[in-house]
Amino acid sequence: QVQLVESGGGLVQPGGSLRLSCAASGFTFRSHAMAWHRQTPGKERELVAAILADGSSTNYADFVKGRFTVSRDNAKNTVYLQMNSLKAEDTAVYYCSRGRTWYFRPPPDYWGQGTQVTVSS
């Protein structure tokens, strides 16, 4: 009964910001690393960011470093992706996922349904 539900996607202009949320249920959220991924139609899914179970450490893909921030609120069973300085190339469906352990070790074992982010003028 693990569930991951993303929200917060939408249309934004280049240079703008969005905050994505992933609400988790059905497991002990604080015991698992979490991650964000994105996928453009017809292309492979790529890892965007990951966060340790207690939020003490994060990792980012090079193409989002300095622009995106992953965080989590274990009291609310929610992981976030703050996206700033958005570029057209960031347009994709964004997915959250559950890591198998305290550290994020690909592949994840559960996925959300995704939320669309479109960056366009």
What is the per-residue pLDDT across 36-69, written as a single tens digit (0 to 9) for each?
Answer: 999 998 899 999 999 999 999 999 999 999 999 9
**What are the beta bridge partners of residue 81?**
20, 70
**Number of neighbouring beta carbons within 10 Å of residue 12:** 18
Does position 79 have pLDDT exceeding 90, yes or no? Answer: yes
- How many whole angstroms separate alpha carbon 26 and alpha carbon 8? 21
Q: Quick check: 19 and 9 in contact, CB under 8 A?
A: no
Q: Quick check: 110 and 104 in contact, CB under 8 A?
A: no
> For all residues of the chain together, what is the average pLDDT?
97
Q: What is the pLDDT of residue 40?
A: 95
**Per the structure block, which two tokens stand in for 21?**
């949320």
Q: What is the pLDDT of residue 67?
A: 98
Comparing C-alpha atoms, which of 48, 45, 43 is closest to residue 18? 48
